[in-house]
Structure 1
Amino acid sequence: MNCLTLWPIILQVKQRNVLGIYLLSLSISDLFYVLTIPLWILYYYNGHHWKLSRAACFFSGFVFYSNVYISIFLLCCISTDRYLAVVYPFESQGFRRPGKAVQVSLLIFLATFALHLAIFLGSTSQDRGHDEDNRTCFEHIPLIQSVAIGNYLRFTAGFLVPLLILTWSYQRIVKGVRKSLTLGREQKAKVKLISISVIIIFVICFTPYHIILLFRTIYFTVADCSCDFEEKVHLAFNIALALTSLNSAVDPILYVLVSNGVKKDLRNAFTSFSRTLFAKGRAKGSPISLTKTTALISGT
Structure 2
Amino acid sequence: MASNITTTISQQPPSASSSLGISTQVGIAILTLAFVLGFPGNLFVVWTVICRVRKRSVTCLLVLNLGLADAFVLLGAPFFLRYLAGGQGWEFGSAACKLVHYLSSVNMYVSIYLICLMSMDRWLAVSRPFLSQRMRTKRSLLVLLLVVWVSAFILSLPMPFYRSNLKNPKANNSIYHCIPYHWNSVGHKVFQYTFETTMACIVPFTLINSCYSSLICRLKNAKFQRRGRGSRLILMIICAFAIFWLPYHIVNVIEVIGLLWDKKSVLKAAGIARPNVTAFAYFSSAVNPILYVFAGSSHIRQAGLSFMGKLFEGTNSESRTTSIFTRSSRTNSSPDESSVLQSLSTKLGRSLKGKNKDNVADKEVNEPELRTLNS
Give the TM-score range, shorter chain.
Answer: 0.7 to 0.9
Q: How far off is 1:90 after superposition?
A: 2.6
1:71 aligns with one of 111, 115, 123 = 111
| One-letter amino acid of the counterpart of residue 43, structure 2 | C
The C-alpha deviation readout for 1:238-274, integer Å capped at 9, x for no partner, is: 11111212321122333576479x989974648xxxx
2:208 matched residue in structure 1? 166
1:216-258 CA distance string (max 9 Å, x none): 12322442xx765443333321111112123211223335764
TM-score, normalised by the number of residues in structure 1: 0.73
Q: Residue 5 of structure 1 contacts residue 256 of structure 1 at CA under 8 Å; is this kept in 2? A: no
Q: 2 CA distance for matches of 1:42 and 1:129?
A: 17
Counterpart of 2:245 in structure 1 is 206
Which whole-Å deviations, capped at 9, do the CAs of 1:104-133 have from their partners, x for residues lacking one?
Answer: 12211112112323x135325x77797693
For 2:122 and 2:49, locate their aligned partners in 1 and report how far apart those are by CA, in whole Å: 17
State yes or no: 1:5 paired with 2:5: no
2:218 to 159, 176, 194: 176
Q: Is residue 90–residue 178 contact of structure 2 (8 Å, CA) maintained in 1?
A: yes
The aligned counterpart of 1:114 is 154
Q: 1:212 to 1:78 in 2, by over 3 A?
A: same
Match of 1:233 in 2: 270
Corresponding residue number in structure 1 for 2:178 = 137
Give the distance between the partners of 2:295 and 2:126, measured in 1 at CA.
16
Deviations 1:26-69 (A, max 9, x none): 11111111100111122233569323211221121111111112
SS of alignment partner, residue 100 of structure 2: helix
Cα distance change of structure 1 residues 127 and 211 upon mapping to structure 2, 3 Å threshold: same
Q: Distance in 2 between matches of 1:265 and 1:102?
A: 33
Q: TM-score with structure 2 length normalisation?
A: 0.60
Task: Trace 1:210-225 onto structure 2 (pairs within 5 A).
Answer: 210-223=249-262
Aligned counterpart, 1:56: 96
Whole-angstrom CA distance in 1 between matches of 2:93 and 2:165: 14
Deviates more, 1:147-156 or 1:38-47: 38-47
Corresponding residue of 1:297? none
- Whether 1:153 and 2:195 are equivalent positions in the alignment is yes
How many residues end up aligned between the 2 structures? Answer: 263
Match of 1:25 in 2: 65
1:2-21 Cα shifts (integer Å, max 9, x gaps): 11121222257763521122
Q: Is the 8 A contact 2:46 2:67 kept in 1?
A: yes
Whole-angstrom CA distance in 1 between matches of 2:245 and 2:88:
22
C-alpha contact 2:254 2:270 (8 A) present in aligned 1? no
Cα distance in structure 2, aligned partners of 1:19 and 1:168: 19
Give the residue type in structure 1 aligned to 2:214: R
Larger mean CA deviation between 150-159 and 139-148 belongs to 139-148
Matched, 1:101 2:138: no
Question: Rg: which structure is higher?
Answer: 2
1:43 & 1:63 partners in 2: Cα distance? 17
Percent identical across equivalent pairs?
Answer: 24
Q: In the alignment, residue 216 of structure 2 is paired with which amino acid?
A: V
Gaps of at least 5 residues in structure 1 are 271-300
Aligned to 1:82: 122
**Does the 8 A contact of 1:123 with 1:144 survive in 2?**
no
SS of structure 2 residue aligned to 1:136:
strand
Q: Which letter does structure 2 place at the counterpart of 1:149?
A: F
Alpha-carbon contact 2:59-2:230 (below 8 Å) kept: no
Give 3-state SS (helix, strand or coil) of 1:242's partner: helix
SS of 2:135's equivalent?
A: coil
Which one-letter code corresponds to 2:180 in the other structure? E
Q: What one-letter code is carried by the residue in structure 2 that aligns with 1:139?
A: P
| Corresponding residue of 1:283 | none
Say what the alpha-carbon RMSD is for the aligned residues: 3.4
| CA distance in structure 1 between the partners assigned to 2:88 and 2:213 by the alignment | 42
Partners of 1:122 and 1:149 lie apart in 2 by 12
The one-letter amino acid of 1:162's match is P
